Amino acid sequence: MTTTSKNRHTETQQPHWIEWMTGAVSAVLILGMVAWIAGEALVQEVTAPSFRSQVRAITVVEGGHRVEFEISNQGTTTAAAVVVRAEIMEAGRPAETAEVTFDYVPGNSKANGGVIFAQDPAGREIRLRAIGYTDP
Amino acid sequence: MDEDVAVAGTVSRGERDPDEARRFLIGLGRGAAGALIFGVPMLMTMELWFLGFYIERYRLLLLLIANIPLLILLAHRVGFEETFTWREAIRDATIAYGIALVMSALVLTLFGSIRPDMLLMEVLGKIAIQAVPASIGALLGRSQLGGELDKSEQQDEENKGSEVSTGYGRELFMMAVGALFLSLNVAPTEEIILIAFKMTPWHAIALLVLSIVLMHGFVYAVAFRGTHELTKETPGWHAFIRFTLPGYVVAIAISLYVLWTFGRLDDVAFGQILTFAIVLGFPASIGAAAARLIL
């Protein structure tokens, strides 16, 4: 409880046990946060961004074929402005190329995006590759 | 002490004098002013316009619904405790929400951010998202900015000796409102995640400690108007455990909620989420501390 009198607040002297309880739980939560972050900082090895992409769905849309994909950053460092090039491969050579840029792919996290091909990629291999990034 | 004394600028039931209508209009004006003061930073943030159409609808709905009890509780708190009924609180909250919607629509139209040729869904999304902080502003504007015009000055005199008790839960609620308000202002911007990406884990821990120290300092150490005092026998760490630490947890929880609402946490690793929350928790905790002083 707090007692307010003309903009003067005085905390009560005999607080309810719930106040102490909440305080204790809060302290545990905050220490937990600090411990988690410190733990990651101490234990986890810092690795540069490295990407893996996977096609999730191909749908026919107005003016082409949309390929939705997921890109995951396996490194612990966040990458910004990640350029992903998507190619439809035909006999070992790219038949069509599309590019998309992700603002951020955080470390150990995923991001989703899509490209739109004019050709139908059905039956052919789609190659997805991150070709560059910057440090945020 | 009847109710029209308690509510600045609203029409009361029973006999009405010609002043009532004028007072009501002035109340609306104050609400609009409050909505602008609190809402303009967000109305002029492009990320929020974009959020209006890409925010997931159920998250937007949840935010809009959660705002209703928040406004009612807030209206009940900023009114005069003894005379202010829940009925009036609900009415004031509704009016504040309404003012906020109108002001948001008006300003967004002026900025050319909403146009008649846009999808209704997009227009509604943009207005709705802006209405949340604006409604808090409208409510505070109606109560905090006003007061002199009617009999409340005299009311203040009468109230001078009286004390208002704030329950512990209410105290935490006030902190949540302050945290929500400041975090809504900055959460949609890209800077929050960019800052998190630039920080090392040690930076994050330092920011966490600083946020807690600032919170405690704001409320107990620096002698602002509305500063909280401890009785002489109470050691300082008592308030730290009972109010500051829970307050920080509230600020972090609100930060997480706001980030989730804006879709910033999707597919992000837990360690990164914590860092985002600490970065947003910085303004949120300042907002929480300020709310304890102001409200």
Interface check for A93 against chain B (CB to CB < 8 A): the answer is no
Q: For B38-65, how does the pLDDT look when each residue is reduced to its tens digit (9 = 90+)?
A: 889 889 988 888 888 888 899 999 999 9
pLDDT number for residue B50:
87
Q: For B156-209, how does the pLDDT look when each residue is reduced to its tens digit (9 = 90+)?
A: 444 444 455 668 888 899 899 999 989 988 898 889 999 999 999 999 999 999
A99 and A120 co-located in one domain: yes
A122 and A55 co-located in one domain: yes
Whether residue B135 has pLDDT greater than 90: yes
Task: List own/partner pairs for B108-113 with CB under 8 A and 24 or more apart.
Answer: B108/B43, B108/B49, B111/B43, B111/B44, B113/B49
Mean of per-residue pLDDT scores for chain B: 82
Which positions ≥6 away from B143 have C-beta within 8 Å? B8, B75, B78, B79
Alpha-carbon distance A8 to nearest alpha carbon in chain B (angstroms) = 5
Could you give the strand order of the β-sheet that contains A93-105, starting from the edge strand earlier in sequence? A93-105, A79-90, A125-134
A103 and A61 co-located in one domain: yes
Interface check for A97 against chain B (CB to CB < 8 A): the answer is no
Distance of CA B63 to the CA centre of its chain: 13
- Residues A117 and A100: beta-carbon distance below 8 Å: no
Structurally, chain A folds into a number of domains equal to 2
CB-CB under 8 Å, B197 with A78: yes
A78 and A130 co-located in one domain: yes
Whether residue B11 has pLDDT greater than 50: no
CB-CB under 8 Å, A15 with B168: yes
Comparing alpha-carbon positions, the chain A residue that sits nearest to B236 is A11
Identity (one letter) of the amino acid at B189?
T
Interface check for A52 against chain B (CB to CB < 8 A): the answer is no
Q: Whole-angstrom Cα distance, residue B254 to residue B102?
A: 26
Interface check for A81 against chain B (CB to CB < 8 A): the answer is no
CB-CB under 8 Å, A106 with B245: no
A17 and A37 co-located in one domain: yes
A67 and A98 co-located in one domain: yes
- Residues A119 and A96: beta-carbon distance below 8 Å: yes
Element (H, E) at A71: strand A64-73
Length of chain A in terms of residues written: 136
CB-CB under 8 Å, B248 with A2: no
From the list B194, B242, B271, which residue is nearest A15 (CB)? Answer: B242
From the list B205, B234, B249, which residue is nearest A34 (CB)? Answer: B205
pLDDT number for residue B158:
43
Q: Whole-angstrom Cα distance, residue B88 to residue B72?
A: 9
A66 and A109 co-located in one domain: yes
CB-CB under 8 Å, B292 with A9: yes
Q: How does DSSP classify residue A105?
A: E
A59 and A104 co-located in one domain: yes
From the list A27, A37, A111, which residue is nearest B204 (CB)? Answer: A37
Alpha-carbon distance A90 to nearest alpha carbon in chain B (angstroms) = 33
Interface check for A79 against chain B (CB to CB < 8 A): the answer is no
Question: CA geometry: angle at B154 spanning B151 and B157, to 5°?
Answer: 150
A30 and A58 co-located in one domain: no
CB-CB under 8 Å, B165 with A1: yes
Interface check for A28 against chain B (CB to CB < 8 A): the answer is no
Q: Whole-angstrom Cα distance, residue B31 to residue B266?
A: 36
pLDDT number for residue B22:
86
Q: Whole-angstrom Cα distance, residue B204 to residue B49?
A: 29
A76 and A25 co-located in one domain: no
A34 and A76 co-located in one domain: no
A33 and A15 co-located in one domain: yes
CB-CB under 8 Å, A30 with B212: yes
Least confident of B5-14, B141-150, B159-168, B236-245: B5-14
Interface check for A78 against chain B (CB to CB < 8 A): the answer is yes
Question: What CATH code is carried by the domain that includes residue A104?
Answer: 2.60.40.1620
Interface check for B231 against chain A (CB to CB < 8 A): the answer is yes
Whether residue B8 has pLDDT greater than 60: no
From the list A10, A33, A80, which residue is nearest B229 (CB)? Answer: A10
Domain with A68, as residue range(s), is 51-134
Q: For B241-289, how does the pLDDT look when each residue is reduced to its tens digit (9 = 90+)?
A: 889 999 999 999 999 999 999 989 988 889 899 999 999 999 999 999 9
- Residues A73 and A49: beta-carbon distance below 8 Å: yes
Identity (one letter) of the amino acid at B86?
W
> If pLDDT is split at 50, 70 and 90, which confidence band does A72 have?
very high
**ipTM of predicted assembly, 2 dp:** 0.79
